[in-house]
C-alpha cells in the first residue's frame, strides 16, 4: 500500500497517522511505546518513512544520550550522592513553607543533572516521612515536589529528554547543537520563579487530603486485622497456609500464626495448622463469610465479663489484640515502568516468586474494597505489602515499586560517591570544551561507572527505561515525516496567517500554548519531536532566528502541569498524595501561566530574533 494507491497527499496521510497516534496516547489503552511503534510501522507501510531508515532512530544521538543519563542517574542513587542530600532534608523542621523550599529546591537542583523521575523517586520517601513526622498532609508536599522535578529539568541539556531532542534537531539543521548549559540562562530563571511561586502561593492551591501520619495511615492496618481460631472441626485443621489458600481460591493474606503464645509471620510459617492456632489476617465481611463457610474458621469471641471458667489474667490476655510489630509491613507505589501494571496478583505470583504478601491496595487516596485477586494494578497505586525485611527492598526494585515508608537512608560508600561525582564532572568538562559530543561523553561516563563498580551491570541495564527509548526511537522518523511531507509547513503557514498582523511574540506564545497542551496528553519527548519541525517552519516563515522558537518548544514540552498523565512524575505522586485527576490544574494552570510569562521575555532577551 502506498500514497499513490490511496490517492492522498503525503501531508494528509501524516496528519491521519498523527491523529490516530495522539488519540491512542490519550485513550491510554495501550502503552505509549507500543503506540509509537505502531505509528512508525504504519508510516513505513504508507510510504511516509523509507523502510531502510525505519530503525535509524535507535542509533540517534538523542536516544543514546537519554539512555546514558538514565544509567548515570542510577549510579548517583547507588553511590549515595542523593541520600546524603536527603539526610540533610529530613532535618528541616516542622514549618511547611520551609519544608517546601528545601524539598522542591533540592529536587530542582537534582533534576538538572539527572533524570527528573529518578530525582523525584529518591525524594518521595523523604517527603512522606516528613509528612508523617510532622502530621502534615502529603498532598501539600507531593504535587509541588513533582512539579519541581519538571522545572529542574529545564536548566541543563541532560535535565529532560525534550532538551536533548531540541539540541539534536538544531544540530541537524544548523550543524551546531545546543551545549550543556545553553538552556541554563532561561531554564534557571524559570525554575527559580516557579520555585518561589510554589513555596509562597502554589501550595495553597493544592487539595488538603487526609493526613497520613503514623497513627492515621492510608491503610490504618490495625482497624482491618481480625483473629480467627482453628477449631478441632475446622477444615483448616491439618492444612498448610498454601493449601488453605487453594481451598479458598482467594489470596487472603495471613499476616501471622500464633501458637502457644509464639507468633510467627505468615510468610515464615511452613507447617500445618493445628487446633488452637490463631490466624491474624486482613479480611472484610465477604472474606469472613468465605473463611467460615469453606474452611470453618471463625472470629474469636470476646470473653464475657462474668466468665468464671477463666481467670482475670487469661481473660485480659484473650482480649488483648495480637501485636503487629515486626510484621515487616511496607507501603510502596507502583511506578510507570513496573511489571505490575495491568496485571493481577495471581498472574504475578507475588508470594512464590518474590516472597511478598499483598495486604491491601489504595488508589486515588482511598483503599480499594474489592477482592485482592480481582485487582489489576495501575501506575500510582499504593500497595501495603508484607515480606522479609532482608529481601523486601530487592523484591520491590525488581517489581518496579518505590517504597514510601520504612525506607532507611543508605549513605553509600564515600569512595564510590566521589568517583561518581568525578566521572560526571569530567564528562561535563569534555562537553564544555567540545572534546566530545554529548552522546559520546555521557555514554563514556556511564561505561566507566559500570566498569569501576559504581553501578552493577545488571542495574545499569535495569536503569534504561525501555518504553522511553522505544518511544523516542520510533517517533523520531515519524517527526521527520511530518517535516518532509510538508505537514509541518502547513501547520506553520496556518499559524503565520493568523500571526502576520501581530508581533512575533504573539506567535511564540501560541506555539508555547500548543506545545504545552500537547505535552499534557502525550509524553513530553513525543511533544518535542512533533513540535520541533513546526517551530522551524514558523521561524523560516517569519524569516527570523530559529533558536527562540526551538527554546520555546524545549520549555513548553516540559510544562506538563495540568494532568496526572502528562508526565511520569505527576503519575508517581497520584496515589501517595490521594489526588484526583482534576486536582492538577488547580496548581498546574497558574504555574503554567507564570512559566509562560517568564519564559518568552527571557528567551527573547537571551536568544533574540
Residue 409 has a pLDDT of: 46
Residue-wise pLDDT tens digits, 189-243: 999 999 999 999 988 898 886 644 433 455 655 455 667 888 888 888 888 888 8
3-class SS of residue 346: helix
Strands 254-259 and 278-282: antiparallel
What mean pLDDT do residues 313-326 have?
A: 45
Please answer whether residues 382 and 333 qualify as being in contact, where contact means their C-beta atoms are separated by less than 8 angstroms. Answer: yes
Residue 557 in grid coordinates: 514540552
**Cα–Cα distance, 599 to 187 (Å, whole number):** 8
Q: Is the pLDDT score of 305 beyond 60? A: no
Residue-wise pLDDT tens digits, 479-499: 888 878 888 888 888 877 776
- Which among 230, 202, 135 is positioned nearest to 588, based on CA atoms? 202
Burial class of residue 134, CB neighbours in 10 A (0-12, 13-18, 19+): middle
Mean pLDDT of the chain: 80
CA angle 25, 207, 201 (to 5 degrees): 100
Burial class of residue 502, CB neighbours in 10 A (0-12, 13-18, 19+): exposed
Q: Is the pLDDT score of 311 beyond 70? A: no
Q: Is the pLDDT score of 438 beyond 90? A: no
**Cα–Cα distance, 466 to 233 (Å, whole number):** 54
CB atoms within 10 A of CB 311: 10
Highest mean pLDDT among 79-88, 149-158, 216-225, 369-378: 149-158
Percent above pLDDT 90 for the chain: 18
Give 375's contacts (C-beta < 8 A, 6+ positions apart).
344, 345, 361, 368
Q: Is the pLDDT score of 6 beyond 80? A: no
Residue 318 pLDDT grade (very low, low, confident, very high; cuts 50, 70, 90) = very low
Q: Is the pLDDT score of 112 beyond 80? A: yes
**Cα–Cα distance, 433 to 303 (Å, whole number):** 80
Please answer whether residues 555 and 190 qualify as being in contact, where contact means their C-beta atoms are separated by less than 8 angstroms. Answer: yes
Amino acid at each position: 500500500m502506498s500514497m499513490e494507491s490511496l490517492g492522498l497527499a503525503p501531508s494528509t496521510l501524516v496528519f491521519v497517522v498523527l491523529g490516530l497516534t495522539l488519540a491512542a496516547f490519550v485513550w491510554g489503552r495501550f502503552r505509549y511505546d507500543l503506540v509509537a511503534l505502531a505509528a512508525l510501522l504504519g508510516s513505513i507501510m504508507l510510504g511516509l518513512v523509507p523502510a531502510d531508515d525505519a530503525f535509524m532512530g535507535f542509533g540517534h544521538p538523542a536516544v543514546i544520550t537519554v539512555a546514558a543519563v538514565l544509567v548515570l542517574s542510577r549510579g548517583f542513587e547507588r553511590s549515595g550522592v542523593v541520600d546524603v542530600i536527603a539526610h540533610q532534608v529530613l532535618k528541616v523542621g516542622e514549618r511547611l513553607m520551609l519544608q517546601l523550599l528545601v524539598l522542591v529546591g533540592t529536587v530542582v537542583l537534582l533534576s538538572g543533572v539527572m533524570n527528573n523521575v529518578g530525582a523525584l523517586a529518591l525524594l518521595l520517601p523523604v517527603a512522606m516521612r516528613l509528612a508523617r513526622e510532622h502530621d502534615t498532609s502529603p498532598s501539600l508536599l507531593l504535587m509541588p515536589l513533582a512539579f519541581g522535578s519538571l522545572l529542574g529539568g529545564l536548566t541543563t541539556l541532560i535535565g529532560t529528554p525534550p532538551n536533548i531532542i531540541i539540541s539534536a534537531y538544531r544540530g541537524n539543521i544548523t550543524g551546531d547543537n545546543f551545549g550543556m548549559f545553553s538552556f541554563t540562562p532561561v531554564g534557571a530563571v524559570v525554575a527559580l520563579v516557579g520555585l518561589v511561586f510554589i513555596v509562597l502561593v502554589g501550595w495553597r492551591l493544592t487539595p488538603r487530603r487526609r493526613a497520613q501520619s503514623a497513627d492515621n495511615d492510608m491503610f490504618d492496618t490495625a482497624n482491618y486485622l481480625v483473629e480467627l481460631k482453628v477449631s478441632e472441626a475446622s477444615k483448616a485443621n491439618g492444612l498448610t497456609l498454601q493449601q488453605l489458600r487453594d481451598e479458598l481460591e482467594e489470596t487472603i493474606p495471613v499476616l501471622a500464626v500464633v501458637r502457644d503464645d509464639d507468633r510467627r509471620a505468615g510468610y515464615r510459617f511452613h507447617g500445618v495448622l493445628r487446633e488452637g492456632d490463631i490466624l491474624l489476617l486482613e479480611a472484610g465481611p465477604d472474606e469472613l463469610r468465605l473463611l467460615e463457610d469453606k474452611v470453618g474458621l471463625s472470629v474469636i469471641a470476646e470473653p464475657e465479663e462474668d466468665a468464671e471458667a477463666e481467670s482475670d489474667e487469661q481473660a485480659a490476655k484473650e482480649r488483648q489484640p495480637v501485636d503487629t510489630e515486626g510484621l515487616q509491613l511496607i507501603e510502596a507505589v507502583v511506578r510507570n515502568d513496573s511489571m505490575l501494571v495491568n496485571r493481577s496478583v495471581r498472574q504475578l505470583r507475588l508470594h512464590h516468586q518474590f516472597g511478598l504478601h499483598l495486604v491491601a491496595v489504595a488508589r486515588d487516596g482511598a483503599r480499594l474494597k474489592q477482592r485482592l485477586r480481582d485487582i489489576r494494578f495501575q501506575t500510582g497505586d499504593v500497595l501495603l505489602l508484607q515480606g522479609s525485611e532482608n529481601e523486601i527492598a530487592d523484591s520491590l526494585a525488581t517489581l518496579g515499586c518505590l517504597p514510601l515508608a520504612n525506607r532507611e537512608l543508605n549513605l553509600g560508600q564515600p569512595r564510590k560517591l566521589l568517583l561518581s561525582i568525578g566521572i560526571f564532572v569530567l564528562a561535563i568538562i569534555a562537553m564544555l570544551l567540545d572534546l566530545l559530543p554529548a552522546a559520546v561523553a555521557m555514554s563514556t561516563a556511564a561505561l566507566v561507572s559500570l566498569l569501576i563498580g559504581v553501578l552493577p551491570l545488571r542495574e545499569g541495564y535495569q536503569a534504561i527505561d525501555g518504553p522511553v527509548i522505544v518511544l523516542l526511537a520510533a517517533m523520531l522518523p515519524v517527526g521527520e515525516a511530518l517535516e518532509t511531507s510538508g505537514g509541518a509547513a502547513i501547520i506553520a503557514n496556518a499559524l503565520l496567517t493568523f500571526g502576520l498582523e501581530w508581533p512575533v511574540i504573539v506567535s511564540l506564545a501560541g506555539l508555547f500554548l500548543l506545545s504545552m497542551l500537547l505535552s499534557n496528553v502525550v509524553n513530553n519527548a513525543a511533544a518535542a519531536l512533533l513540535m520541533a519541525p513546526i517551530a522551524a517552519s514558523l521561524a523560516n516563515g517569519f524569516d527570523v532566528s530559529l533558536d527562540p522558537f526551538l527554546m520555546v518548544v524545549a520549555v513548553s514540552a516540559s510544562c506538563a502541569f495540568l494532568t496526572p498523565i502528562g508526565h511520569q512524575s505527576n503519575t508517581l505522586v497520584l496515589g501517595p498524595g490521594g489526588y484526583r485527576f482534576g486536582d492538577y490544574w488547580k496548581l498546574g494552570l497558574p504555574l503554567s501561566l507564570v512559566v509562560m510569562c517568564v519564559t518568552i521575555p527571557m528567551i527573547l532577551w537571551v536568544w533574540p530574533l
